[in-house]
Amino acid sequence: MKLDRRFATLVLMTFAVSAPAFAAPAPENLVRGAIGPVGSNGQWSNYTELNLIPGSALFPVANPKTVLYYGFTAGTEADIGNMVLYTTARGSTTITAVTPVKLGGSSAPSILLSSTSVCPVAPSAAAPCIVKFDPLTLTLSPASDYYLAVYTTNDSNNSSIAGTQANTGQSSVVSSYFGDDQTELAVGASIPGVPNGGAIFLMYVMNQ
């Protein structure tokens, strides 16, 4: 019995020493995010900003969750009407799934860029204010493409906001924008257009 107790104690000690091996993975980019200095793109009242995250650009990184980071370069308050992530088959514009995107549990948040708890310094191209959206329980696949659609409502606050503007060589994400709300499209509908410019607002796509 004494031998059995010593063996059990050794097993427990070994497990305790080994437990840190199960720690969460380090933050990693799922695609190449904005690198180097960014520009600024403003006046977003009544527009839907559409960023394409190509499946072909995904890094081989474990991503049980997907976290999107939005960059602002001007403004005091951004009023969001709705945010979704459309999924299509790779190279297709037909929507196969629609995933709500949220900030603080809401798909229609007002982001107080004037608050130091949101933006420690006033947003600018030199020092963008980067807002982390709520994690999505979604594993991105190379077999699909993903379109982040964010509608900024028709009001004076959004007329004065601006987002980060990356050149096409600075990020794997490409972008475009369309008038009115394009976030209510259903499965089977088509994306309103294929983005082909440098990423606007969407700076990073990460695993946490």
> pLDDT exceeding 90 applies to what percent of the chain?
81
- Confidence band for 18, pLDDT divided at 50, 70 and 90: very low
Residue 17 has a pLDDT of 39
The answer to whether residue 133 is domain-embedded is yes
Residue 169 has a pLDDT of 83
The answer to whether residue 178 is domain-embedded is yes
> CA 21, CA 1: separation in Å to the nearest integer?
31
- Confidence band for 80, pLDDT divided at 50, 70 and 90: very high
* Average pLDDT of the residues of the chain: 90
Domain coverage including residue 55: 28-206
pLDDT at 5 over 60: no
Q: Which of 24-33, 46-55, 173-182 has the lowest mean pLDDT?
A: 24-33
Domain of 136: which CATH number? 2.60.120
Give pLDDT tens digits for 130-162.
999 999 999 999 999 999 999 999 999 999 999
SS3 148: strand
> CA 123, CA 131: separation in Å to the nearest integer?
11
Residue 20 has a pLDDT of 45
Would you state the structure tokens that stand for residue 95, as one six-digit string? 């929507």
The answer to whether residue 87 is domain-embedded is yes
The answer to whether residue 173 is domain-embedded is yes
Give kind and range of the element (H or E) at residue 99: strand 95-100
pLDDT at 69 over 50: yes
- If one counts every other C-beta atom within 10 angstroms of the C-beta of residue 122, the result is 15
The answer to whether residue 22 is domain-embedded is no
Residue 192 has a pLDDT of 96
CA distances from 83 to 101, 105, 123 (A): 5, 12, 21
- Confidence band for 2, pLDDT divided at 50, 70 and 90: very low
Number of structural domains found in the chain: 1
Residue 23 has a pLDDT of 60
Count, in order, helices (H) and strands (E) of the chain: 2, 12
Would you state the structure tokens that stand for residue 98, as one six-digit string? 């629609």
